[in-house]
Amino acid sequence: MSLRHFFRSKSPLVFLPYQRNSSDFCMQCLGECVDVCAEGIIIKKDEAVPYLDFATNGCVFCKKCAQICEATYGENSVLDPSLEDKINARAKIDVIGCLAYHQVICSACKDICDGAIRFSGMFYPEILESCTGCGKCERVCPKDAINIVAL
């Protein structure tokens, strides 16, 4: 566990993409989604619901988690690969820690993002509605000033 995640306050867990219904939680599953996630961002502890941890990578929306869930559990599957590539979460910028909010040129988040972060000139990044909650920006921020927050 990184120091960043150790000291971060407890916030609601960010659940997997492709969920049929946010009230459907897969506590009985064996966590097959964890094994197929090439990015290594799906965590499942004991009887808990699988969730996403963006400390090392972001979600690339490969759909493997949803495909294995559907193949294993059929109509009882919580995940549906035909749903939109979106996580029920959004990036949030800590303006106190963000370099660009302090007139230091940094665009690490924008460089890795697929168009969901807009800058006013070279400073003041803003998260747009098109944010998919993928977590790529959280991982690359040099000041740990971006967090993916469940909606």
Cα-flanking dihedrals φ and ψ of residue 3, to 5°?
A: -60, -35
Residue 33 CA to its chain's centroid (Å): 15
Looking only at Cα atoms, what is the longest distance across the chain? Answer: 52
CATH class assigned to 90-150: alpha beta
Task: Output the pLDDT for position 23.
Answer: 55
Could you tell me where the beta strands, DSSP code E, fall in the chain? 42-43, 51-52, 89-93, 117-120, 123-127, 146-150
d(CA 88, CA 125): 21
pLDDT beneath 50, residues of the chain: 1, 6
pTM recorded for the entire structure: 0.86
Whole-angstrom Cα distance, residue 53 to residue 46?
Answer: 16
pLDDT digits 0-9 by tens, 15-47: 999 998 765 567 678 889 999 999 999 999 877
DSSP 15: P
For the chain, residues classed under CATH 3.30.70.20 are 90-150
For residues 32 and 144, what is the distance between their CA atoms, to the nearest angstrom?
30
